[in-house]
Structure 1
Amino acid sequence: MMPMRTLRSMLASAAFVGLAAAPAFALDGADLVAKFNAASAANGTTITYDGADVDGDTLTLSNVILKTAAGPGRDLKIGEVTLEGIEEYEDGSYYVETVSLPDVNVSETEGSVSVKDIALGGLSIPANPAGGTIDDILLYESASTGPVSVTAKGKQVFALEGVDANLTRQESDTGFDFDATLKGLKADLSDVEDAKAKDAIQKLGLTNLAGEITMKGSWEIASGNISLGEFALDFANVGRLALAFDISGYTLEFMKSVQEAMKAQEANPNKEEANQALGLSMMGLMQQLTFNGASIRFDDASITKRVLDYLGKEQGVSGDQLAQSLKGLIPVMMAQLNVPELQNQVSAAANTYLDQPKSLTITAKPDKPVPFPMIVGAAMGAPNTMPSVLGVKVTAND
């Protein structure tokens, strides 16, 4: 995606074709990094570097180190970083077409981590991160990696084919849409040391996992509406777990207030006092948020039957017998909550799912948005009203 400012820059350049050439613009690498740090510092990270080599619209930084608020022990040595296709706008902000980072290869006694082909595309660096528009946020248009590998004791235990993430500005720059995919995920759990856990993993057929993780959503700046349409974990021969939520009030001001509260916590040497202060701050900030809806859905891919068989065998019964026992036990457990309508929904959904496991869905969709203070009040004063306050529904195989 080409930002509007890039398009305007191109049109302006075209208008001056034929005029005498002005002296070449000298890119100020130190200024670019300073503004990058000013914007990223809000998230608790900054970078340092030993040298900055400018060649036209390309900036190469040597010996880059990513510093975090956690302290020197958590700093990450990156190495050489190349920024290409850099444009500086009249307001002092920057647009970087591509950012290339070196491969990660970290080895320790017990294992190693490697990440290849790390790159960012369309990096926007604001001139003034204290502003209140989308142009005042450090953003990228795309981020990706190649293969990712984690080894332990000489054996690969985790791998990814790659990661792809994208941010797309909405019309009129009101916000942005985002999506990400972690593809070709593989995990080897054969070397789990705990004997009981290892036995369960083997009997449930979870020794080798393969799947992917996907995410997509949007953020509207003015209203602070964050809609996570999907965060899904999908594994072969296990199932697909998808989460979604929709809240409002997460504005730039709210985000900056959270960041300031976290900075105050990190700066306070008295950690107990710092944590208490952070908790009070977060409780106060949460009052600005509004709940619009949420859902959890699981689509079975044979794991339910294996779990029933495994747990049933532990109790000396078959998986089908355990399922029948659960169908009788669930209504008794739900009755303790004193929520008859929800009890009936859960019992009906459980019966349907246990008879033929396909899908199980829990949704919370109130008739109108619910302020978070109202949710907290209901949870503390009358927890049995929560399902009606949030509009909770439970269904199976739909």
Structure 2
Amino acid sequence: MTIHRSTVRKFAVSALLLALPLSPAFAADTKAVAERLKATFESQGVTVGWTGVSGDTSNMVLEGVTIAPVGEKEPLAIGNVTLKNVTDANGGYLVDTVATQAFSQEKDGAKFEVSPFVINGMSIPAEGNTDPLASLLMYKSAQLDTLSVKVADKTAFSMNNLTVNVNPPASGQPMTFTGGAQKFTGDLTLIQDAETKQVVEGLGYQNISGKLDMAGSWQPTDGKLELSKYDIAVDNAGTIGMTFALGGYTTDFIKSLQQLQKKMAATPEGADKSAEGMAVLGLMQQLSFGSATIRFADNSLTNKVLEFVAKKQGMTAKDIANQAKAVVPFGMAQINNPELTAQVTKAVSDYLDNPQNLVIAAKPASPVPFALIAAGAMASPADLTKTLGVTVTANGN
């Protein structure tokens, strides 16, 4: 099964951008609204076009919309987009709802089908607004009922009831957001690689299903970006959860990043991009690392893996677990951090004896600049794990 990555990327970015808030205009005129919308997207490094504008501000339609994210030369055609109840707001606009048509596209043997994507409470700030927050895309909520990818008349992937809810930053309070997908499915029988297919069949995961939940916040005043929850739960397997906290993700950083993205997109293919690469590294130095965790909560996957490996090697699952326990200290020795090695060895042993959950966390005493992390990764991995406060625990211990 081959799915064209460029097509997936363009659609994913397009969907997100159409779900994100847009920007300004002056007159309550459909053409003015449309042009302000285009200008706002262009300031974000995205090119949007259409073949016509019809209706009025109570029910306005952008016809034949195309969109091209940064770096994509071939625009994606997404059809008509409807804006309902457009009203003036401090020289800009508020839009009650923005909705796409149902969308489908076929490429490289894969067919993408998407239900109408609906955004609620979208703001379009006024032209020339100097407030850094006002220039960002903001909205209150977004919904996508269904999304599917079909290959050879089989549904390779589907997602249902994808939602995002946003409380914009106000009165010094951070922006908060929650979201998730009620259900997703995957048909792994479509995998072509023989070895991977054998593993999937051996574990009994030819067809999988699950759900997605996420939550987080962003404080524009100090640039603290926190993903407090990002859980992917797969039925009869387990849940992998991730969190992180970064500092320095300010509106100035976002603006600089957007400008750099546009500059990089305009660089001809084959041209020397070393200067852009250095600019990216320089920009990353503005960020700091606060914390991160990766957590796996088992729901039968671990024992299935042990049984599968044991069957292939003519051993018992307990023998495989004991082998894994014995290998861990040798693998960790390369890091040259005895304390962490002992911790990981115990955690893996506890987990394999009674699979419940395994947590890898990095929680430094204070935020660590990315420049220091980059330098530490090259100079001394052992010192870096100490600087970042890396820990590994199992089963709540």
Structure 1 length as normaliser, TM-score? 0.88
Offset, 1:193: 1.8
Structure 2 gaps, min length 5: 1-25
Which protein is bigger by CA-based radius of gyration? 1
CA, structure 1 residues 386+368, in 2 after alignment: closer, same or farther (shift >3 Å)? same
Q: Distance in 2 between matches of 1:375 and 1:39?
A: 35
State yes or no: 1:325 paired with 2:326: no
Offset, 1:69: 3.6
Q: Distance in 2 between matches of 1:44 and 1:168?
A: 24
- Map 1:79-98; keep pairs closer than 5 Å: 79-90=79-90, 92-98=91-97
Contact 1:27 1:54 in 2 (8 A): no
CA, structure 1 residues 358+71, in 2 after alignment: closer, same or farther (shift >3 Å)? closer
Q: Distance in 1 between matches of 2:64 and 2:334?
A: 61
Which residue in 1 is equivalent to 2:214?
215
Contact 1:176 1:218 in 2 (8 A): yes
Question: CA-to-partner distance for each residue in 1:71-124, whole Å, 9 max, x for gaps?
Answer: 442x1212222111111123x211100012100122457242211132110111
Structure 1's consecutive aligned runs of 4 or more residues displaced over 6 angstroms after TM superposition are: none
Q: Distance in 2 between matches of 1:76 and 1:129?
A: 29
- Map 1:305-344; keep pairs closer than 5 Å: 305-344=303-342
AA at the equivalent of 1:29: T
Which residue in 2 is equivalent to 1:287?
285
Which residue in 2 is equivalent to 1:5?
none
- Map 1:25-174; keep pairs closer than 5 Å: 27-73=28-74, 75-90=75-90, 92-108=91-107, 110-128=109-127, 131-172=130-171, 174=173
Contact 1:358 1:396 in 2 (8 A): yes
Q: Distance in 1 between matches of 2:167 and 2:217?
A: 9
SS of 1:172's partner is coil
Contact 2:138 2:168 in 1 (8 A): no
Structure 1 gaps, min length 5: 1-24
Offset, 1:55: 2.7
User: Share of identical aligned residues, percent?
Assistant: 33
Question: CA-to-partner distance for each residue in 1:276-324, whole Å, 9 max, x for gaps?
Answer: 2232112111111111111110000111111112223333322210100
Contact 2:185 2:207 in 1 (8 A): yes
SS of 1:273's partner is coil
Q: How many residues in Structure 1 have an aligned counterpart in Structure 2?
A: 371
AA at the equivalent of 1:54: G
AA at the equivalent of 2:54: D
Which residue in 2 is equivalent to 1:190?
189
Q: Distance in 2 between matches of 1:266 and 1:304?
A: 44
Offset, 1:204: 0.9
Contact 2:70 2:261 in 1 (8 A): no
Structure 2 length as normaliser, TM-score? 0.88
Q: What is the CA RMSD across the aligned residues, in angstroms? A: 1.9
- Map 1:213-292; keep pairs closer than 5 Å: 213-271=212-270, 273-274=272-273, 276-292=274-290
